[in-house]
């Protein structure tokens, strides 16, 4: 993959109805190591252009780096057509994500956009997709307005699926009071809204509710409020390395209750930074995080283990990340949708092909990914079911599948 400094870039299915400018530079490359997707021979058409924006630098770099790395495993050819893949770094900046998405459309001539790494940057990217009639696969579990949602699909699991698993575990383990500390942005607010609804009638009271910014370097004030209330458990809604701060502060002040996290914390950087304070943390994750521990009957096990093996062979033992898996799954979705769009007769590089790709994505059925199986519908642009989640606990500095999964 070529890195440029400030230069612009030159499975089954249904038929479809604070950094410098140098650090924020675009990362441009073509996926050369991806699998070739077999399809019947077709007349030569224009190349399919995939454009990506991820947060490879900035506060969400622990998400964006494995996502960028996983571009290596996206398909280089689909349906007999070459795939050109262009990658930008948005530095965890929603404004830069917007600019990148516009470059994807105007300069890279994208047929589809993948990105970005966080909720704010993904919302920004999705909005450009709607405005330009370009389908977008988000790497964060966003819930955009209906007009934006029409062009936006998601690789990660819906918050409600993950929250449901956590609430069930809390109830089974006698939790009656729950503290909340989460990002003061769309990701945190989405989780707060979903948890508030799912706790209704559960017998679990949620209080206090504390918030912090992704760029904060301390959560001491918020944690003092939580420790003073002494709830049975605390839910941390964050992602990447900042997710470690509440654990560190809670343990430092002697908090002895259970600590839960969201799938946003499914990164080894969280375990590395939190150290012993991560031990015992419970969170919902996609199957790829514990692929080797899954039963052989799990739909995603074989693909997830193959992806994990190839990723760690290239980037080192223990480097596998849940977030890279979302990028891989975005590639699975593109690989399944593009042949359907090509069958429509539309030419890549045209508005008609972008619309055909949108329609094809919405009709995908039983597409296996490393995070579960996708069944998209007009009403559901996430497409996941219970096969997309398992509960894990941090034990001895590693993820351990909880029994009963």
203 domain residue, yes or no? yes
**Helix, strand or coil, per DSSP, at residue 401:** strand
Alpha-carbon torsion 36, 130, 345, 375, what sign? positive
Question: Of 221, 250, 285, which residue constitutes the final position of a domain?
Answer: 285
Domain with residue 259: its CATH number is 3.40.50.2300
Residue 163: give the domain boundaries: 159-285
Which pTM value belongs to this model?
0.84
Which residues have a Cβ under 8 Å from the Cβ of 149 and sit 6 or more positions away? 126, 143, 381
The Cα-based distances of 387 to 165, 299, 368, 405 in angstroms read 12, 8, 10, 10
Let me know whether 168 and 251 are in one domain: yes
**Helix, strand or coil, per DSSP, at residue 179:** strand
Let me know whether 174 and 320 are in one domain: no
Let me know whether 22 and 125 are in one domain: yes
The Cα-based distances of 196 to 10, 160, 191, 213, 259 in angstroms read 48, 11, 8, 21, 17
**Looking at the 3D structure of the chain, how many domains does it have?**
2
Closest by CA to 87, choosing from 110, 63, 68, 112, is 68
298 domain residue, yes or no? no
- pLDDT tens digits for 66-94? 999 999 999 999 988 999 999 999 999 99
Is residue 234 a contact partner of residue 253, using CB atoms and an 8 Å limit? no
- pLDDT tens digits for 181-240? 999 999 999 999 999 999 999 999 999 999 999 999 999 999 999 999 999 999 999 998
Is residue 273 a contact partner of residue 267, using CB atoms and an 8 Å limit? no
**Helix, strand or coil, per DSSP, at residue 234:** strand
- pLDDT tens digits for 309-364? 999 999 999 999 999 999 999 999 999 999 999 999 999 999 999 999 999 999 99
């Amino acid at each position: 993959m070529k890195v440029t400094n400030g230069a612009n870039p030159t499975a089954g299915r249904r038929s479809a109805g604070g950094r410098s400018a140098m650090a924020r530079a675009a990362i441009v490359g073509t996926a050369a190591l991806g699998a070739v997707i077999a399809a019947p021979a077709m007349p030569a058409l224009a190349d399919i252009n995939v454009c990506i924006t991820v947060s490879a630098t900035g506060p969400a770099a622990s998400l964006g780096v494995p996502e960028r790395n996983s571009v290596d495993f996206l398909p280089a050819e689909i349906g007999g057509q070459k795939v050109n893949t262009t990658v930008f770094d948005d530095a965890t900046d929603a404004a830069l994500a917007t600019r990148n998405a516009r470059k994807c459309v105007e300069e890279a001539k994208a047929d589809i956009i993948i990105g970005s790494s966080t909720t704010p940057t993904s919302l920004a990217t999705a909005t450009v997709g709607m405005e330009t009639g370009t389908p977008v696969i988000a790497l964060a579990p966003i819930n955009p307005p209906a007009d934006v949602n029409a062009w936006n699909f998601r690789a990660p699991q819906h918050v409600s699926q993950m929250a449901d698993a956590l609430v069930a575990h809390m109830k089974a383990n006698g939790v009656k009071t729950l503290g909340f500390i989460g990002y003061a942005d769309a990701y945190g607010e989405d989780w707060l809204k979903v948890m508030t609804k799912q706790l209704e009638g559960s017998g679990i009271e949620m209080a206090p509710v504390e918030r912090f910014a992704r760029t904060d370097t301390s959560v001491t004030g918020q944690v003092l409020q939580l420790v003073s209330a002494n709830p049975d458990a605390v839910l941390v809604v964050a992602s990447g390395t900042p997710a470690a701060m509440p654990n560190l502060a809670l343990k430092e002040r002697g908090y002895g209750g259970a600590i839960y996290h969201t799938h946003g914390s499914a990164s080894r950087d969280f375990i590395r930074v939190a150290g012993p304070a991560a031990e015992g943390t419970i969170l919902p994750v996609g199957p790829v995080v514990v692929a080797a521990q899954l039963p052989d009957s799990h739909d995603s096990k074989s693909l997830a283990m193959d992806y994990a093996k190839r990723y760690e062979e290239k980037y080192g033992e223990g480097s596998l990340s849940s977030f890279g898996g979302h990028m891989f799954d975005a590639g699975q979705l593109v690989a399944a949708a593009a042949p359907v769009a090509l069958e429509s007769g539309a030419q890549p590089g045209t508005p008609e092909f972008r619309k055909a790709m949108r329609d094809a994505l919405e009709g995908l059925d039983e597409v296996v990914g490393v995070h579960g199986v996708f069944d998209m519908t007009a009403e559901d642009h996430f497409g996941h079911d219970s096969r997309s989640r398992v509960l894990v606990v941090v034990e001895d500095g590693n993820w351990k599948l909880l029994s009963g999964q």
